[in-house]
Amino acid sequence: MLAPVMLAGCFNDSPSAKFIDYQERIANVQESDLLPPPELTLVELPSKRELTKEIPRTTLGLIDSYQLRKCQLFGLIAERNSVLGKVQDQFRNFDYQLKLIDGLERCLASNQIELELKTSLQDILSVKYQYLPDYFSTSFIQVMQCAHNSTGTIG
C-alpha cells in the first residue's frame, strides 16, 4: 500500500525538470555538451501615462493626395479616412502606419511624383518615423488591456 506513494515521491514532474531531461537527451543523441540555459533579462515597462503620448496628425491637400495614385498610396489613405478606418483599433492603426511608411518611401522613390509633393512626403515620413515607437506603445497598451479584460489578468 505504501509502495505507490513512496515511488510517486521519486519522480519530479515539474516542467523545468522535464525540460532539463529533454535537453540532456538531445545532448546525448547529438554527442555534445548540454547547452546552458538562456539568460533572462526582465524589461520594465514605463507607466501607461508615459507610454501614451499625443501624436500629431499629418495631412495633405486633396489635390496632392490624389497624386498618390501614381505610387499606389491613395487607396490606403482613402481606406484609413473612411468611416470604418477612423474607428479602427490601435493595433490596426499601427499596421496602417507601417504600410504608410512603406508607401511613402515608395512614392519618394517614384519619378512620377512632383518635387514639391516629395518635399511634403519627406516631412510626413520623418514625423511617422519619429512617432513609430509611440504608435507601437499605444498598440501594445491596447493589446494588454484587451488581454486583461478577457482573462482578468495580464501575463
pLDDT band at 142 (very low <50, low <70, confident <90, very high): confident
Q: Are 68 and 80 in contact (CB under 8 A)?
A: no
Q: pLDDT tens digits, residue range 10-29?
A: 566 788 888 888 989 998 99
Ranges of each domain in the chain: 48-151
* pLDDT confidence of residue 111: 93
Q: Name which of 20, 40, 24, 44 is nearest 32 in CA terms.
A: 24
* pLDDT confidence of residue 145: 74
Q: Are 72 and 99 in contact (CB under 8 A)?
A: no
